[in-house]
Each structure stands twice: as structure tokens, then as C-alpha cells.
Amino acid sequence: MILITNPFFVEGEIDILHSLLEEGLSLLHVRKPDFSELEMAQFIHQIKLEFRSYLVLHTHHQLGEDFGIERFHFSEKERKMPNDFPARFSKPCRSKSTSTHSISDFNSLSTEFNYAFLSPVFKSISKENYYPEKDLFKEIKSRKNHKTKMVALGGIDSENVQKVLEKGFDDVALLGSIWKNENPLKQFKLCQQIVLSYSQSQV
């Protein structure tokens, strides 16, 4: 299960993130689109060394070398830049991920991406008036790319997370359901329990 940071300021955010990581959060996508390089460095510096390997950088990828971070996310726009993937994004790393919004885009991904978000699955919790244009549960029946892990994003919470996995997604990413909740840790643990129970039932 993946968590994406709130793009905006959150009171006590670092403490919340540490609590979630201590509870077994496997990957934390650090998405702060308005952060300067210095602000991003200051943010990462607050996260305990033991958790740095769980971080995925969305911007300021060059900071990875300074902080020992080897996981990078690339937006749809970056992925579709002219002249293919820029050379500066091609150096070896532990994992690369990206964002897609249609099954055709997901199917066309190159094998260098370990996983990709496909969104929005449901009405977004964090973004107003952001709805699915198509039924992604129907769309993913046309999946041809099985080398890239398909991660559901958009409107996912404890009420629907099991359905998402049952319908064929490989993993889920949480955002609004955590950051819009009065008790982020409780909501995370509830989702985590459902995902683990489902995974164990499939073994």
C-alpha cells in the first residue's frame, strides 16, 4: 500500500508520517509540487534515516543522491516529453513510477517503470470535481501490460479498497482518505488491515 503526501501544509505532518511508516507503510510518495529544492531538502531532512529508503521523490530528483533515495516518480507530462525520456532520468535506481489516466496509456508504458498509478478510480477525495471519465474497472479488462504493476489511485478508502483489489488492480495508493481524515493513523491501519486480509486470502 502506497501513501502520497498532502501537497499542502499539514500540521504535525512529519510526526504523522513517522507513525504511518512505523505501522508498516511500504512506500511514501513525497509530492510537494510547490516546494523549492531547498524546501524539499528541509522536508526530507526531517524524516528519520531509517525511513529514507521508503521515500519516492516526485520532484527535485537530484536530491536523491544527497539523501540516499533511489525511488523516483515521473509525471505524465515528464514521461511524454519530446526526445523520449531525458537522459537525466535514466540513471540506475531502485524503482521508477509514473502516472497514467487511461488503460491505453498504461499499456503503452515502457518496461523501465516498475509500477504506475491509474486514476481516478472513484470521485477524488482530495480534489474537488475530479471524477472518473470512464469506468476503470471495465477499462482494465483490456490490460496488456503485465510487467508494470498497476496501482489504483483516486477516492480510495476503507469502504472500497477491497473492491479495487478484487477488480484486478495490483495495489492501491491513498491520499485524500488519509489527509482528510481526523485520525490519519486509524484510517491507514483500517485500510492496511483490509488489504492484508485480502492478500492472505488469495494465497
pLDDT tens figures, 27-48: 999 999 999 999 999 999 999 9
Which phi-psi region, left, alpha or beta, contains residue 71 (left: φ > 0; alpha: ψ -120 to 50)?
Answer: beta
- Band of pLDDT at residue 100, cut at 50, 70 and 90: very high
pLDDT tens figures, 45-63: 999 999 999 999 999 999 9
Work out how many domains the chain is built from and give that number.
1
* Domain that residue 176 falls in: 2-201
Checking if the pLDDT of 5 tops 70, the result is yes
Beta strand 115-118 with 149-153 is parallel
* DSSP string across 29-41: EE--TT--HHHHH
Indicate the pTM of the whole model: 0.94
Checking if the pLDDT of 3 tops 90, the result is yes
Residue whose grid cell is 492496511: 192
Tell me the three-class secondary structure of 72-117, residue by residue. Answer: EEECHHHHCCCCCCCHHHCCCCCEEEEEECCHHHHHCCCCCCCEEE
Q: What is the CATH number of the domain that holds 165?
A: 3.20.20.70
